[in-house]
Structure 1
Amino acid sequence: MIEILNSTELARARETGALVADILQTLKRRSTVGTNLLDIDRWTEAMIAEAGAVSCYVDYAPSFGRGPFGHYICTGVNDAVLHGRPYDYTLADGDLLTLDLAVSRDGVAADAAISFVVGDARPRGSIALIKATERALAAGIAAARPGARTGDISHAIGAVLHEAGYPVNTQFGGHGIGSTMHQEPHVPNSGRPGRGHKLRPGLLLALEPWVMADTAELVTDADGWTLRSATGCRTAHTEHTIAITDDGAEILTLPRQA
């Protein structure tokens, strides 16, 4: 399913997007050395409820997972890059933490992710990984405009990641979003320009460059959800929900608070 939102729905999407971004920034400030991943999940649950929103994750049960996800946010530490299921783990100085959040409010969903290093330590390569995904996301957004195709976005993202020297996995990537969290079209993190779905105003896309330092191969945890690098290397993931407009793309998941 591919949805095109009208102006009223887009206004609601902006509110949902800002909520997602604000929650992520609050969680980033709270996620310090000694924080437990289960506390992050509980904080997320409380903030979603306070905002009158609904989690897109807690009851999420796609074919690639094992039953309902059962948590309110994805928490990936170090080698865990996607679908990180919160568990009883206390953050240590230098951990690379990824927070991925999707919520729905007033019938419209938004999805975003941030990666950052916890504490004062700066393990080698971690910041470079994060910055590469941020640059790739910016390039993908710049390529998103009416008349362009999803392949143009994929090519822009992949060019940055490849230039930075990282292998690129195309199994999981960006996606359409609207009344539900995951919709068509799929937007892989590498591709050929001029191919794929043609973009038009009102289309919402969640673009999410993610990389692993030295491999493109994923392995799945025993929890049936958490995807990790096959080599145990560090990973990073950055995501925004954008709306295609008449003259480009609008980022919907920017925080309202400093």
Structure 2
Amino acid sequence: MRALAAFAMAGRRQAIIAAVLCGIIPLINMISPALVALVLLRHGPREALMVAAFAVLPLIGWASVGDMTPLILLVGVGVMAEVLRRTASWQYALLAAILVAVGAEAVLMMRPAVMDLLLQQVEAFMAAGGGSAELPEVTPETLREGVLTLFGLMHMLMAVFLLILARWWQALMYNPGGFQKEFHEFRLQPSVAMLLVGLFLLASLGGTVLTGWILYFVIPLAVAGVALVHGLVGIKRLSRLFLVAFYLLLLSPLAVQLLSVAALLDSFYDFRRRIQPPADDGSI
């Protein structure tokens, strides 16, 4: 992966070649938006637009046959990268990720054929794996809303991951250790954290356009919680096995909720500033 990023950073022609070739290959085409984001973070929007003008061509091809994800991510990750470049703040980039999720929903609603195909696949999956009476009856409208939310959430998470990848590439080549320091120190401002909590509560009440977006407001808090754990592990110099166990725990929705609460508290109390690193005993 580092070799790919280094090749793309060797010049505009190389960046175009890398982005286009990655965009042609199935699954690997998700890497193309990260390469464009890397160019944007390093050289700014003008150079990134020149690369994106070519990178978008194979992604339009994929969108024409029903795979809209790479094209959505090219736009979404580009917007997030520009926000991060201008503000040097991950919290604003994560807020922009909410717009990626909402935009993905809008794109899906404008493609009714793709929407119907997804609904058919979900219905077939439910019929095959859950034909028992234990499952509650799901109305078509509820199923539609659920598919829209999952579609938006998937694109939001992938956009965050690809921006992290682009930022890691940038630090790896031009600022070794910079991404780790940046991520370990990341925490939400109290006002932003409370805004997310307020939107979450408002969405939980139901009856508003925000109702289907509940999970979108949790993701920035969850990412801040992940940064908190990484920061504490770094300060206390704990084993990497601790992080492995932590990510396994994240498979539980309850763990994600607790992590989000920890991030909210951290926005006010800054736990990393209050934790001292282990003392050096001076042993050889």
TM-score, structure 1 length as denominator? 0.30
Higher helix share: 2
TM-score, structure 2 length as denominator? 0.28
